[in-house]
Each structure stands twice: as C-alpha cells, then as structure tokens.
C-alpha cells in the first residue's frame, strides 16, 4: 500500500519502514557509504517535546549538531555508529553534504512537479527526501553547489528569483527517520536502492527542477 501526498501532479510516497535510528544510520553507512553523525534529540517535559540542546527557541528542535565540530565527528564506520547510537538511541541522524553527495532543496510543490517531469523525460533521480518543513531534497553528485548558479543562468532563470537551495561542503541534512519537534519525521520520497546507487549530476536534473521552481513562484 502507498500513501499519496497531494501536489500539482500527484506523487506516490511509499509508507516508511519502521527502522530504529540506529538501524537506519548503520544502513546508510554500510549500504550507501555515507558518513553520518548523531545530532540533538527530542525530550518530553510537561507534555511537550523540547530539543536536548535546552534552548527554548531552538529553530530545529531535535535535528541539529550538538557542537561546532560536527564535521570531524562524522563517521563511515558501522562499528562507531553502533556505539554512538547505543549511547544515544534517540539522537537524530545527520549527514554531512559535500562528501559523497550534494543536495538540491526545493519546495514540496516544485519537487513533486519536477519528479513528474523527470518521469516523462525518462530521467532517473537519485534518493529524494521530504522534510517536515515540506521541502524535497534531491541527492546529486558532489559539486552541485558550484555548478547550479551557472546552470540556472544558462536556462534563462535567475537563481535569486527561484526557491532553490543547494547544500554542499560545510552543510548537513537530516536523514529519515529523524523527527523535527512536533512537525513530523523526514521520510523518503525516492528511497535509496541499488537502482539509484550512482547519483545523477546536478546538470541532469536542473532543467526540470528550475522549471518547477519557476512555476511555483
């Protein structure tokens, strides 16, 4: 069975597998060779959930690094991952961008429209997540941050007029099944599989993404 998320053109998002955070983190390391690191987590108090960082106005409760040295904490060792999450089983799963992938981030509406266009164009996207902030994040080969501005200009768009953001070196994203406060969990729209092990280049996907963002303005 599938659940459907409505958009300008309907897209089907499979129900999510009930993995624990530890199981998911180990799978990302072992199956995708992605580095991971644990972030903050949610704590319940007086019937409400708060970020473990303790800040009452935390902008991303339960899904951000615990310190500034997060890049050095990211690991590709399944043994280390098991140790880290056995100590903090509710810690969010954070992935550093710019190593084995970059990310192109667009609104949910634009992302679903782009996926529909990619299907018609017979373009295969890599893994794609949906965040609780209603953003779709497309995994592409590293280097997208440097390429995208020029690629968008060549298509006749100005990046400043599109709600399209790239994440590369120095940035991170939250991976499923991480939760953001009361907003829900990150989930896969296009789950990592053997079929999308080789990520697309930003150049392959930028045309439908830019077009969809232009339509979504």
Sorted by where each begins, the domain ranges of the chain are: 18-215
Alpha-carbon gap, residue 99 to 19, rounded angstroms:
25
User: What distance in Å separates the CA atoms of residue 210 and residue 34, rounded to the nearest whole number?
Assistant: 27
pLDDT in the model for residue 181? 75
Q: Which of 166, 151, 137, 176 is nearest to 24 (CA)?
A: 176
Q: CA nearest 184: which of 55, 88, 49?
A: 49
Residue 18: the pLDDT is: 54
Least confident interval from 17-31, 58-72, 115-129, 146-160: 17-31
pTM of the model: 0.90
């Amino acid at each position: 069975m599938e659940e459907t998320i409505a958009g300008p053109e309907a897209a089907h998002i499979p129900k999510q597998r009930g993995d624990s955070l530890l199981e998911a983190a180990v799978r990302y390391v072992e199956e995708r060779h992605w580095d991971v690191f644990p972030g903050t987590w949610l704590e319940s108090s007086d019937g409400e959930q708060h970020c473990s960082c303790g800040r009452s106005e935390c902008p991303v409760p339960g899904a951000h690094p615990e310190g500034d040295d997060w890049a050095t904490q990211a690991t590709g060792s399944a043994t280390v991952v098991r140790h880290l999450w056995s100590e903090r089983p509710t810690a969010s799963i954070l992935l550093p961008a710019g190593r084995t992938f970059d990310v192109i981030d667009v609104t949910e509406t634009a992302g679903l429209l782009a996926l529909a266009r990619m299907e018609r164009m017979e373009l295969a996207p890599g893994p794609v997540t949906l965040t609780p902030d209603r953003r779709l994040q497309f995994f592409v080969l590293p280097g997208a941050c440097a390429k995208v501005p020029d690629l968008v200009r060549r298509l006749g768009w100005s990046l400043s007029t599109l709600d399209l953001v790239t994440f590369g070196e120095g940035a991170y994203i939250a991976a499923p099944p991480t939760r953001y406060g009361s907003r829900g969990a990150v989930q896969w729209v296009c789950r990592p599989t053997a079929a999308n092990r080789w990520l697309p280049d930003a150049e392959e996907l930028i045309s439908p993404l830019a077009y969809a963002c232009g339509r979504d303005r």
